[in-house]
């Protein structure tokens, strides 16, 4: 079996998770009759300190529901230029919510209150009104970077002063909480809505959740149906997510340790450029010097390591539930051998 570092979405359910899914109580969730979904939503809302939560098939849907609820067509949102909502959600802000994205120049995905203030539109009928600020924590294209809690507070204070709403794309918020020791609810308290993912580091097969006030979630429930996300006997997949939520959060620390070990080893290999001190969670970003990233990706795949090329000279590796500490030396040996052939 190859060592799969393409993403933390490639994880397979553990035997205990499969057992929980097989035993799940189910009902018609569109009617609100699925008890397992209800338990998952209640537990997620509790962990994030919000009134309510809504189970969704994907993180993209959770994020786009938030945009649709918070805004009206023609509004503008402020977002990092490399944010998942802007970069990887297929133009959905424009297609589904009808909003403009104003991109901010974040550093590894983290921007400042001054960046937000500089981007605010004047109260002028010629301008698209600024309505929402979006933060991604941890930041995917930022290499799993963690937003400092102080920076979040500053942006939240400024946004409130200007009447702006805030949404947190917390697909990997669990990683930020484990890495810093700051509870998820302490991050979430600064936001009007929060999305979280169960099928990345936590390792469940399907699903995310959107959290906010009860009124916000009730409106999001309507749009979930409109977007095609109403599910019937969803308790089968919700049981996997609930098992992951209760049993797999603490083990994310192992993924982080594996990522640091991988980064330290890769940083010593000729042909790669990366700073292991920037690896805060489970994502390792590297620059390829000698050959195209796609060429190296294909060669590594043939040799038994799967990674993802994110551009002509950038590669991402993501440690996950399927990668043990023993896989790291093996992966490093394969990297060294493949890079040696490129000389």
* Domain finish residue from 214, 247, 280: 247
Q: Is residue 2 part of a domain?
A: no
User: In 10 A of CB 94, how many CB atoms?
Assistant: 12
- Reported as a single tens digit per residue, the pLDDT across 253-311 is 999 999 999 999 999 999 999 999 999 999 999 999 989 999 999 999 999 999 999 99
Report, as an integer, the average pLDDT of 14-36: 97
Paired sense of beta strands 283-288 and 272-273, if any = antiparallel
User: In 10 A of CB 74, how many CB atoms?
Assistant: 12
* Domain finish residue from 192, 221, 247: 247
Alpha carbon distance 285, 140 (integer Å): 10
Paired sense of beta strands 165-170 and 193-197, if any = parallel
Quote the pLDDT of residue 310: 95
Identify whether residues 180 and 299 lie together within a single domain. Answer: no
- Reported as a single tens digit per residue, the pLDDT across 74-119 is 999 999 999 999 999 999 999 999 999 999 999 999 999 999 999 9
Do 177 and 184 touch, CB atoms closer than 8 A? yes
Range of the domain at 310: 251-342
- Reported as a single tens digit per residue, the pLDDT across 210-244 is 999 999 999 999 999 999 999 999 999 999 999 99
State the total domains in the chain: 2
pTM: 0.96
Angle between helix 235-247 and 15-22 (nearest 10):
140
Name the band, by pLDDT with cuts 50, 70 and 90, for residue 343.
Answer: low
**Above 80 in pLDDT, residue 130?**
yes
Identify whether residues 25 and 174 lie together within a single domain. Answer: yes
- Reported as a single tens digit per residue, the pLDDT across 39-86 is 999 999 999 999 999 999 999 999 999 999 999 999 999 999 999 999
Quote the pLDDT of residue 341: 81
Average pLDDT, whole number, for the chain?
97
Quote the pLDDT of residue 182: 98
Quote the pLDDT of residue 290: 85
Identify whether residues 82 and 227 lie together within a single domain. Answer: yes
Do 296 and 340 touch, CB atoms closer than 8 A? no
Identify whether residues 200 and 321 lie together within a single domain. Answer: no
**Above 80 in pLDDT, residue 342?**
no
Identify whether residues 233 and 303 lie together within a single domain. Answer: no
Q: Is residue 186 part of a domain?
A: yes
Which one, of 31, 32, 36, 35, lies nearest residue 204 by Cα?
36
Residue 202: CATH number of its domain: 3.40.640.10
Residue 301: CATH number of its domain: 3.90.1150.10
Owner of token pair 């469940």 = 204
* Domain finish residue from 184, 217, 247: 247
R_g of the chain computed on alpha carbons: 20
Identify whether residues 211 and 237 lie together within a single domain. Answer: yes
Sheet with 308-309, edge to edge strand ranges:
272-273, 283-288, 314-318, 308-309
């Amino acid at each position: 079996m190859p060592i799969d570092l393409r993403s933390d979405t490639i994880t397979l359910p553990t035997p205990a998770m499969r057992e929980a899914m097989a035993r799940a109580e189910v009902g018609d969730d569109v009617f609100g009759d699925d008890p397992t979904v209800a338990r998952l939503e209640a537990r997620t809302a509790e962990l994030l300190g919000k009134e309510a939560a809504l189970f969704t098939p994907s993180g993209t849907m959770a994020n786009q529901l938030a945009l649709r609820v918070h805004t009206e067509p023609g509004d503008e949102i402020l977002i990092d230029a490399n944010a998942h909502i802007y970069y990887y959600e297929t133009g959905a802000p424009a297609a589904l919510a009808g909003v403009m994205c104003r991109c901010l120049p974040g550093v590894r995905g983290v921007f400042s209150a001054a960046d937000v203030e500089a981007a605010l539109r004047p109260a002028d009928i010629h301008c698209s009104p600024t309505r929402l600020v979006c933060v991604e924590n941890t930041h995917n294209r930022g290499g799993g970077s963690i937003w400092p809690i102080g920076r979040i507070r500053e942006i939240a204070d400024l946004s409130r002063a200007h009447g702006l709403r805030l949404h947190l794309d917390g697909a990997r918020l669990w990683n930020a909480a484990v890495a810093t020791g700051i509870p998820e609810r302490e991050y979430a308290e600064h936001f009007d809505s929060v999305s979280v993912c169960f099928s990345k580091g936590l390792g469940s097969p399907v699903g995310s959740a959107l959290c906010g006030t009860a009124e916000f979630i009730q409106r999001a429930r309507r749009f979930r149906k409109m977007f095609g996300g109403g599910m019937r006997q969803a308790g089968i997949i919700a049981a996997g997510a609930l098992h992951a939520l209760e049993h797999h959060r603490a083990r994310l620390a192992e993924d982080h340790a594996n990522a640091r070990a991988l980064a330290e080893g890769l940083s010593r290999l000729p042909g790669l450029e990366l700073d292991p001190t920037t690896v805060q969670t489970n994502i390792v970003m590297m620059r390829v010097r000698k050959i195209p990233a796609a060429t190296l990706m294909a060669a590594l795949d043939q040799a038994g390591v799967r990674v993802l090329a994110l551009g002509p000279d950038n590669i991402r590796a993501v440690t996950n539930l399927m990668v043990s500490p023993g896989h790291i030396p093996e992966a490093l040996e394969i990297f060294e051998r493949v890079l040696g052939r490129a000389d």
